[in-house]
Structure 1
Amino acid sequence: MAGHSKWANIQHRKGRQDAKKGKIATRLIKEITVAAKMGGSSLDGNPRLRLAVDKAYDNNLAKDTIERAIKRGAGEMDGVNYEEIRYEGYGINGAAIIVDCLTDNRQRTVSEVRHAFSKYGGNLGTDGSVAFLFKHCGTLLFAPGTDENKLMEAALEAGAEDVLTNDDGSIEVVTGPYDFVTVKETLAKAGFKSEIGEVTMKAQNEVVFTGDDAVKMQKLLDAFDTIDDVQDVYTSAVIEE
């Protein structure tokens, strides 16, 4: 068994994401552009691009918008040249935070990220200061009530690395980052559709927040979300409702 209120926490996070669909669309377009630039425009030969495109369709982005982003990244159309930057640091109570950015102005981005950390009680660290506390992997979360034995058998056959049952009954399938799409599709064909799936930086040890500390930590995380250059935020903080 693992976790505590994983299902409620994930649903809460998803609700916050759904309320920011416009910003998510912008971030997905940037990710598609960079993925195509780094690995080419072929979905079959570029796992990062395939993942970004799948996520874009899941968020109802138009096909022509996605195709234009791929062409810009592949150099077939003019576009902004984005740079990938990762910032690491700590929030309150020692919770680890990773902030991944895509930017065309490094000085602007580091200034805004540093300001968010300092304003809300966190500290911007050095490269590698917290990354070792996370695992780069894919995760698929299934609702409480899913047949654990059947899902475990199907997941392991599909190439998953681990299957975790949380205290609240939800089940989490962990994959390698580049096996995520294959495992997700294989499980869907077997009748197991995940509620949420993503390639992420998964915290190896979580820090649970309640009460005033939870409010403070959420304000820090929300501050990162207001920064246009921020693509993803990963944290060991678990904020209880």
Structure 2
Amino acid sequence: MGRMFEVRKASKFARWDRMAKQFTRIGKEITIAVRAGGGIGDINDNPMLRRVVQNARGINMPKDRIDAAIKRAVEGKDTSNYAEVIYEGYGAHGVAILVDTSTDNTTRTVANLRSYFSRNGGALGTSGSVQFQFKQMGVFKLNPEGLDEEELELELIDAGLEEIGETETEDGKKVLELRTAFADFGNMQTALEAKSLVPISAEVEWIPNVTVPVTDEQAEEVSKLIDIIEQDDDVNKVFHNMA
């Protein structure tokens, strides 16, 4: 079951830009989590908010920013009505792309995405045109220090563990990545809490069923489109099936 996962690394400046964007994304997720939890801003009573706050800590978001975002959401000062929408399309060379967004204006988001795709050798598709090529999975990243991968694998199989392996963050930090079926996300979260293991991040991601082989030149072309999409304020994450 164990395996090595790959990560696409970014330049120092791109990482700083991405960190700022991650803080904005976390702010939106806090608003969504508080509203979904009936206005509850206590992480002990709002599991969804607890997960978001864990992720915020994992990317070193300052505590005062986290607290301020929760306070705004609880007090209703953030009046944006975010919708979480997945958009589908193809990049150049037949690479399938899923775009995870949180937007308060879907008309604006669709127009922007259509422009990004069409100007960079791709095309925005219709609902269902790409998603079947991916599976939705829970992805948990842990600090590997002091953990025995084989032992942990055996202990977490009953919680739905499907894959386990080492990967690196964009700044070169090694982490242990666990993957579960989407339906087992809650089971894994509960199992990790029972073992007093706090994930660096706990996310729902779209993992490709099969990857598309590309040359270095083709990969650079598709990566340009992905980078442009990721810079949009409405976009949370971009998933693709490029090998």
Distance 1:19 1:64, change over 3 A: closer
Q: CA deviation at 1:207?
A: 2.2
CA distance in 2 between counterparts of 1:121 and 1:81 reads 32
SS in 1 for 2:150: helix
Give the AA of the match of 2:154. Answer: E
Equivalent residues in 2 for 1:30-109, closer than 5 Å: 30-40=28-38, 41=40, 42-109=42-109
Corresponding residue number in structure 1 for 2:117: 117
Unaligned runs of 5+ in 2: 167-174
Q: CA deviation at 1:53?
A: 1.1
CA distance in 2 between counterparts of 1:65 and 1:165 reads 32
Unaligned runs of 5+ in 1: none
Higher RCO (Cα < 8 Å, 6 or more apart): 2
Q: CA deviation at 1:135?
A: 2.1
SS in 2 for 1:110: helix
Q: CA deviation at 1:45?
A: 4.9
Corresponding residue number in structure 2 for 1:207: 212
Q: TM-score, normalised by structure 1?
A: 0.77
- Which ranges of 4 or more aligned residues in structure 1 deviate by more than 6 Å? 193-196
Q: CA deviation at 1:89?
A: 1.2
1:154–1:187 contact (8 Å) kept in structure 2: no
SS in 2 for 1:231: strand
Structure 1 counterpart of 2:7, from 7, 10, 22: 10
CA distance in 1 between counterparts of 2:222 and 2:111 reads 20
Q: CA deviation at 1:52?
A: 1.3
Distance 1:113 1:43, change over 3 A: same
Aligned pair count reads 226
Q: TM-score, normalised by structure 2?
A: 0.77
Corresponding residue number in structure 2 for 1:161: 161
Return 58-67 or 94-103, whichever deviates more: 58-67
SS in 2 for 1:209: coil
Distance 1:18 1:91, change over 3 A: same
1:160–1:173 contact (8 Å) kept in structure 2: no
Q: CA RMSD in A?
A: 3.1
Corresponding residue number in structure 2 for 1:217: 222
